[in-house]
Structure formats: C-alpha cells, structure tokens
C-alpha cells in the first residue's frame, strides 16, 4: 500500500528503484549488502512489514524476522554504504493507557507481538545508524492494499448491521498524504523520530460511520466495547500521537482524516 504511493511521490525528485520480496528479502543481510553494492542508493525507504496484528501472535518468529531483524539489516546496509534510512513504525509500540497523545520520546510499552517486534526494529535502527527517519503512523488506508475502508465498503454490500469497536481512539491515515510528507522530509536531512498521521481523532466505530455517510451506504454501525470483540492480539485503547517533532522541524501536518477520506472515496 504505502510503497506504491511512496514511489509515486518520489519519482519526480529521485531515481526510484521499487524492490519487492521476490527481488530482495530484507531478512537476508548478505543479500542486502550485495544489492546495495550493485545499486548504491543514497536513501532506503522501508515500507516492508508483517502487519497482520493477530497473525503476529501466532507467527512471532516471522514477526521479529520481518519487523525487527529486517530493519536492523537495512540499517547495517545503510551504515556500510553511508545511506539514510526511512523506516515506518506504529502507534502499537505504546500501550494506550494514558489519556493524552504519546510523545515521540516516550518509552514504548507494546501490548502485542506486532508492537513488540516494531519497537525492537526501532531500537536496532537507533543503535546502528545516525541518518534515520523513524515514522510512527496509524490506521492506514490507501488505494493499493487491504484496509479498513475497503472492508467496510465490502461489508455494506453483504450485511445490514455490523459491530465496530468504539473505545479505541486514533487517527486514520491516508497513504498518499503520508507519502507526500515523507517525500518532503527526506530532502531536509532533519533526522529523528516523527509521528505522522492525518489530523483529528476518532474511534473505529466513528470512522466506520463516516465511511458509510460519505459513500452513501446504509450499513448500520453498532458501537461496542473492545471486550465484546475478541481478538488474538490486545489493541491499545489510546493511539493518539503527538506531532511535536513534526512541528519543531517545520514540516506541515497532514490534512484532517475526514478530508483525506473524502478524497480517497472521491
């Protein structure tokens, strides 16, 4: 989802090489060294990840291979070839127990394997590399992959009413908007950890209701607490992310999530 939009956003400014797993497996350090020696990139943008949150609970080894070891390998490759690294992380590195938005420098305390593997990936990058952008984002939707918006639109054709959790709060993020921000950010060399989501907060139930409203569907959304929607992985209740570092560095915040949703459904 994000990789396609990232390549599109960068192609007017850079020579972009799109790499998928069949070309390069980021869990293979030797393969990374060889590929970087061949291509000599100045910048690597890591959009790879094992993002099936519940799947990570039963495939923990794979989660750590892709979400922790993979970023470490890329950081080692960047360090060897003096390249910069953009790495995408997640709101799930936090436990969601506080009321206010999480600051960039707060200590991660993930609740599930997905969050733990992503937090480990962040630590590996910080320990190996100086030239990095770690971008924590949340609730992503876009044109090039499975996402909550498309799932709701599909269910609207199949059902009359659906239960959606109403006590997890975060910011839906449009991959195209995020890609545009990162395209600007990498020109700056203002390295560090950033939170980047579309503006505004909502619950999953509120997000679903807005999708139905804007798409003209009649699917009724029944808000329920997390305790009534059992999943393998525990989700944080509060996924609000502070934009302090984004503001300090002078980068523009993304548009409101409702604006982004309108453009996506357009």
Question: What are the catalytic residues?
Answer: 114
Residue that is written with structure tokens 């639109």 in the block: 153
CA atoms of 172 and 189, how far apart (whole Å) = 27
Structure tokens at 98: 């506080």
Q: Is 46 helix (H, G, I), strand (E, B) or coil?
A: strand
CA atoms of 44 and 8, how far apart (whole Å) = 15
Structure tokens at 67: 């979400």
Residue that is written with structure tokens 């962040």 in the block: 122
Answer yes or no: are the C-beta atoms of 208 and 165 closer than 8 Å.
Answer: no
CA atoms of 158 and 141, how far apart (whole Å) = 21
Pairing assessment for the beta strands 140-141 and 198-199 based on DSSP bridges: unpaired
Give φ, ψ of 265 to 5 degrees. -75, -25
Q: How far is CA 255 from CA 78, 144, 180, 219, 259, in A?
A: 32, 20, 11, 27, 6
Helical pair 257-265 and 175-185, crossing angle rounded to 10 deg: 120
Closest to 168 in 3D by CA, of 229, 238, 242: 238
Answer yes or no: are the C-beta atoms of 253 and 246 closer than 8 Å.
Answer: yes
């Amino acid at each position: 989802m994000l990789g396609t939009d990232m390549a599109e956003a960068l192609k007017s400014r850079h020579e972009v090489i799109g790499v998928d797993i069949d070309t390069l497996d980021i869990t293979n350090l030797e393969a990374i060294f060889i590929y970087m020696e061949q291509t000599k990139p100045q910048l690597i943008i890591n959009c790879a990840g094992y993002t099936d949150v519940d799947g990570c609970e039963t495939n923990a080894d794979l989660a750590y291979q892709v979400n922790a070891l993979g970023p470490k390998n890329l950081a080692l490759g960047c360090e060897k070839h003096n390249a910069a690294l953009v790495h995408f992380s997640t709101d799930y590195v936090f436990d969601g127990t506080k009321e206010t938005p999480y600051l960039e420098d707060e200590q991660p305390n993930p609740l599930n394997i997905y969050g733990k593997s992503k937090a480990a990936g962040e630590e590996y990058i910080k320990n190996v590399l100086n030239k990095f952008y770690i971008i924590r984002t949340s609730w992503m939707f876009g044109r090039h992959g499975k996402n909550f918006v498309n799932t709701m639109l599909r269910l609207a054709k199949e059902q009359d009413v659906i239960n959606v959790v109403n006590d997890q709060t975060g910011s839906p993020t449009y991959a195209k908007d995020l890609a545009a921000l990162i395209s600007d950010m990498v020109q700056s060399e203002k390295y560090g950890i950033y939170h980047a989501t579309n503006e505004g907060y909502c619950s999953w139930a509120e997000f679903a209701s807005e999708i139905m409203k804007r798409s003209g569907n009649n699917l009724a959304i029944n808000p329920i607490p997390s305790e009534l929607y059992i999943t393998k992985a525990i989700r944080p209740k509060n996924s609000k992310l502070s934009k302090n570092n984004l503001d300090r560095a002078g980068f523009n915040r993304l548009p409101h999530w409702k604006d982004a949703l309108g453009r996506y459904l357009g």
